[in-house]
């Protein structure tokens, strides 16, 4: 890996690993309704959410490492992570739910309840959930190689049956990898078999795989 890509991975909180698909997956995701960049006024260290639940060992760090328990504060700039056999669910200001499975890393890069923000998924699996009846905001989930733009939807992304899978349960998501885009609607999923590979054709995921994917995050 050249220095440029290594720097990208370091900024995104992604460590090096041998063959783990969760750390090597190349995925960029853009929603159908993504509106582009905005101005954010929040400052680092401001409370932007809380822990809804935590099972096993889950932590956050801004200036110091904090074990996560229900109702603990989530701060702008926090790196949130889970250990093996652990998971946590966060509620960001304004009602956005972020669920992390085991061995996941997420940085709250910037966030304002009424506007949205940017989250950086370093590794592991994530379920994003924002109710359809809530006001629409722009949230971007960024990886070292791409991003997920969201405006009121529910989706899964992460390791699934040996590949990096993306599944849209509600709303619309556009998956981009290796210069190829796939548009997902409710019930649709795609696979990305390796870093740098294009996404598969859009397919309807069957109930057992959907259940496996969400259970890997939600338990």
Q: Look at residue 148 and tell me whether its pLDDT is greater than 70.
A: no
* pLDDT at res. 116: 86
What pLDDT shows up at residue 37? Answer: 42
- Domains along the chain? 23-218 (2.60.120.1440)
What single DSSP character describes residue 194? Answer: S
Backbone angles phi, psi at 158, to 5 degrees: 155, -175
Select the more confidently predicted residue: 64 or 179. Answer: 64
Would you say residue 34 has pLDDT above 90?
no
Lowest mean pLDDT among 28-32, 114-118, 133-137, 205-209: 28-32
The whole-chain average pLDDT of the chain stands at: 81
The H or E element that residue 88 is part of is: strand 87-92
CB 195 within 8 A of CB 26: yes
Has residue 6 got a pLDDT over 50? Answer: no
More confident residue, 88 or 18: 88
Q: Higher model confidence: residue 65 or residue 150?
A: 65
pTM score, two decimals? 0.79
Question: How does DSSP classify residue 201?
Answer: P
Residue 154 pairs in a beta bridge with 129, 170
Length of the chain counted residue by residue: 219
Q: Is the pLDDT of residue 121 over 50?
A: yes
């Amino acid at each position: 890996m050249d220095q440029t890509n290594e720097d990208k991975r370091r900024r995104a909180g992604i460590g090096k690993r041998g063959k783990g698909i969760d750390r090597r997956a190349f995925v960029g995701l853009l929603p159908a309704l993504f509106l582009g960049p905005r101005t954010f006024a929040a400052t680092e260290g401001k409370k932007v959410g809380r822990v809804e639940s935590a099972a096993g060992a889950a932590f956050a760090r801004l200036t110091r490492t904090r074990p996560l328990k229900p109702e603990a504060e989530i701060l702008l700039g926090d790196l949130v992570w889970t250990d093996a056999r652990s998971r946590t669910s966060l509620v960001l200001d304004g009602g956005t739910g972020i669920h992390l499975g085991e061995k996941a890393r997420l940085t709250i890069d910037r966030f304002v309840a009424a506007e949205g923000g940017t989250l950086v998924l370093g590794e592991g699996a994530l379920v994003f959930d924002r109710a359809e009846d809530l006001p629409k905001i722009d949230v971007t989930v960024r990886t070292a190689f791409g991003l997920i733009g969201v405006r009121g939807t529910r989706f899964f992304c992460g390791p699934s049956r040996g590949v990096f899978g993306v599944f849209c349960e509600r709303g619309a998501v556009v998956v981009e990898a290796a210069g190829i885009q796939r548009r997902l609607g409710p019930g649709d999923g795609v696979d990305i078999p390796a870093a740098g590979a294009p996404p598969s054709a859009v397919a309807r995921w069957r109930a057992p795989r959907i259940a496996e994917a969400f259970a890997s995050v939600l338990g």
